[in-house]
Amino acid sequence: MNFDFTEEEKQFRQEVEDFAKTELPADWDEKALYWPAGYGTLPGLEKEFKEFHDELLLKLGRKGWLTIGWPEEYGGMNSMIKHAIFDDVMSYHRAPGGDVSNAIAGPTILLVGSDDLKKEWLPRIGRGELRFWLGYSEPNAGSDLASIKTRAVDNGDEFILNGQKIWSSGAHIADYAWVLAKTDPDAPRYAGETLMIVDNKSPGITIRPIENICGICSFNEVFFDDVRVPKKNIVGEVNKGFYCVMMALLYERLFVGIGAFRRVLDELVEFAKETEHNGQPLAKDPLTRDKLAAMAIEIEILYGFYWKTAWLMDKGQVPVLEASVLKLFGTELGRKLAGAAMEILGMYGQLKRGSKWAPLRGLVSLGYMDSVSGPIGAGTSEVQRGIIATRGLGLPRK
Amino acid sequence: MDFDLSEEQKLLKQSAHDFLSKECPRELVRRIEAGDEEFPPALWKKMAGLGWMGLVIPEEYGGSGGSFLDLVMLFEEIGYKICPGPLFSSVVFGSLPILMAGSREQKKEFLPGIARGEITVTMALTEPSASYDPSSIHVKATARGDEYTLSGTKLFVPYATGADYLLCVAKTGEKKRPEKCISIFIVKNKIPGITITSLTTLAGDRQCEVVFDDVTVANTGILGTRDKGWPIVEAILENASLVSCAEMIGGAQAVMDMSLQYARERTQFNRPIGSFQVIQNYFADMWTDINAARYLLHKAAWKISEGIDAGMDVAMAKSRTGEAYRRVTTLGHQIFGGIGFTKEHDMHLFHERSITGDLNLGQGAFHRERVARRLGL
């Protein structure tokens, strides 16, 4: 056993740290109010930050940091641990790091894509030139993804796409859709879906932003109306889309914004030290101390699951159980942390961004709302527990 | 990063598992717990033969020079099989303090005997205040020429009845800062003035009240240096907390494994109960709880093995593990239903140990306070 990083990994962390300090705008801390493991406050999804994010992605691409976990022959560093270090540092600064492009599209193309697909897309993703949004969920297909109705009909060199997606995070600021559509409605469950890349500028696409409960337009509903998709944009085999989706979900689960947990804890500890309450620093209040210590312990545990998942991936294993636990534990911790933060801030917790009285720049009032999203998005807690029990521990489904 | 056990550690765990499966069946655990039988000397000898008592004792003192992490691996198996007996007290409260603070002569005198299983030692630390604060030490050592006399009462002393020596933590002065005048005495057990009374505890684990009434100890009996005992106690409490975590995690794993098997076999509404989502959710939470604690334990134990300060990690591990073991056991009970509430079923053995494990060596809140201090609060 060894719980330390190599010298090279430590150096890499420092390099990312330096990058974040020099490349993020001076007022970034004021602007970015990302809540850990939430999906509603990701700065990369906010229109306001689009220009900055576009530039940042190109810079990250030049550094080779959008492809850290990819094999070396595709410009990667072949290290999920380093990828995890990168995301730890970036999320500590609440900065956008990777997204659907390099965390889902890239790895999936690497696993199941044809050589042509690899040649066309991987270099552009690696350079940070384009962004994808994830076209999986539909109004009647949330946890039950196999129930999608969006239909792609074979039409010679192309598919004709019709249907509706929802909860499409970032569709309003992305360039391409990563769409799962039904190609064989008569096939048994999980055997009639196909994964395809759809240009956001295609005629027939309507994107309607939806405002989330934080007051931010992070996701959308998207309508496809006779949208033409060239066959060369099919990812993997036709009717094998479900398996392609499942394969790449693991990679997505490393994105829990882990550094932002650490950051909130640091800020709450500072707050407790600086705030007078009942004639003494809040930091002396036993209940506050207990809450902060409990959160520190849970965050340390989250790091344990985080590093272990990355380490297993580097060993070439498919950590189904660990990745689901990471997602489950992280997003539920996001809620617990929001609750604890509110209790520590007391009445001040309700003050929103912009109020001169708001502690932590109004982060907690926003985060409390956003913490609802984590255990719901990207596979609910119930779905994760089901995966852990059946695929992880082998319990029977019937 | 490397989350894998070494080959030697895997072997140690496997051999301990196999050995205890054969030599320490649940019937024996039950008889000992009920007080019908003491820990069998023959079994103790076999365990010594496997090198368990000398695992962390250096080779020059008759041990095998293993790491603290190795010890933790062994105790996960001990906990899995809920093996009772003085192994914990003799290794953690006996050999470790002597190793840490003893003079060369003291090490030579005691460690080889402990490693061979011929001498058992325990520590008389806590008192009726049931606290781990230096201000709670009231047993007094009064110097008289070349000797000291010890007086006062110790409580919750593990396996004191069978121990050959007691490491008695006592006050050797009166200072504003009590941690500056605490010393540890090596006392031969059952000499005049010592009265030992067994406590009737939930897990039948042979904790005792030990009363010292003008017990005479030569000044050569001080472990290490006079007045410098408290840092040793602190270090031993950290070690003991982690070994206790290892036992608890092993026990929690056993509960989960037993429950998993049952949930696959037990049929209600014409299907195995393990196919119900409610039950599946319990297992997801059990796995998460156990492995969360296991990570904290392994990281802390690794730090101790590497000589890195592990104060924060130990506090995190102990606070989380006791509570996790209790949650896991409660869920296990829920899965077993009525049969788990009977004496004939084994669940109660784990239910008892989950709560006593949480209570001893500092509960969740005690250790969270230690975490809070280390956060700079």
Residues A118 and A222 in one domain: no
In a domain, A2, yes or no: no
Residues A235 and A260 in one domain: no
In a domain, A17, yes or no: yes
Residues of B in contact with A265 (CB under 8 A): 375
In a domain, A388, yes or no: yes
Residue A98 has pLDDT above 90, yes or no: no
Given A127, A161, A196, the domain boundary residue is: A127
pLDDT of the residue at A99: 83
Task: Give the best residue of B3, B290, B303 to mutate against chain A (max A CB count within 10 A).
Answer: B3
pTM of the model: 0.96
Task: Give the best residue of A3, A326, A382 to mutate against chain B (max B CB count within 10 A).
Answer: A3
CATH code at position A208 = 2.40.110.10
pLDDT digit string (tens) for A231-247?
A: 999 999 999 999 899 87
Given B101, B119, B137, the domain boundary residue is: B119
Residues A284 and A225 in one domain: no
A81–chain B Cβ distance below 8 A for any pair: yes
Instruction: Supply the range of the domain harboring residue B319.
Output: 231-374
**ipTM of predicted assembly, 2 dp:** 0.95
Given A72, A106, A127, the domain boundary residue is: A127
How far apart CA B189 and CA B187 sit, in angstroms, is 6
Which of A288, A308, A325 comes nearest B288 by C-beta? Answer: A325
Residues B299 and B347 in one domain: yes
Beta bridge partners of B28: none
In a domain, A300, yes or no: yes
| Mean pLDDT (whole number) for A94-98 | 85
In a domain, B1, yes or no: no
In a domain, A252, yes or no: yes
Residues B185 and B217 in one domain: yes
pLDDT band of residue B158 (cuts 50, 70, 90) is very high
Residues B182 and B251 in one domain: no
pLDDT digit string (tens) for B45-64?
A: 999 999 999 999 999 999 99
| Mean pLDDT (whole number) for A34-58 | 93
Residues of A in contact with B69 (CB under 8 A): 1
Of chain A, the percentage scoring pLDDT greater than 90 comes to: 89
| Mean pLDDT (whole number) for A64-82 | 94
CATH code at position B112 = 1.10.540.10
pLDDT band of residue A254 (cuts 50, 70, 90) is confident
Instruction: Supply the range of the domain harboring residue A60.
Output: 7-127
Residues B239 and B208 in one domain: no
pLDDT band of residue A249 (cuts 50, 70, 90) is confident
pLDDT digit string (tens) for B80-128?
A: 999 999 999 999 999 999 999 999 999 999 999 999 999 999 999 999 9
In a domain, B345, yes or no: yes
CATH code at position A263 = 1.20.140.10
pLDDT band of residue A14 (cuts 50, 70, 90) is very high
| Mean pLDDT (whole number) for A285-302 | 98
Which alpha helices (DSSP H) does B214-310 contain, by range? 229-265, 277-306
CATH code at position B275 = 1.20.140.10
Residues A302 and A365 in one domain: yes
Given A96, A127, A158, the domain boundary residue is: A127
In a domain, A338, yes or no: yes
Residues A123 and A138 in one domain: no
Provide the sign of the torsion angle of the four alpha carbons B157, B159, B162, B164, taken in this order: negative
pLDDT band of residue A230 (cuts 50, 70, 90) is very high
pLDDT of the residue at A251: 75
| Mean pLDDT (whole number) for B195-206 | 95
Parallel, antiparallel or unpaired: strands A176-182 and A132-135: parallel
CATH code at position B197 = 2.40.110.10
Given B175, B202, B227, the domain boundary residue is: B227
Residue A318 has pLDDT above 90, yes or no: no
Residues B176 and B255 in one domain: no
Q: What is the mean pLDDT of chain A?
A: 95
pLDDT band of residue A391 (cuts 50, 70, 90) is very high
Q: Do residue B376 and residue A290 have CB atoms under 8 angstroms apart?
A: no
Domain count, chain B: 3
In a domain, B199, yes or no: yes
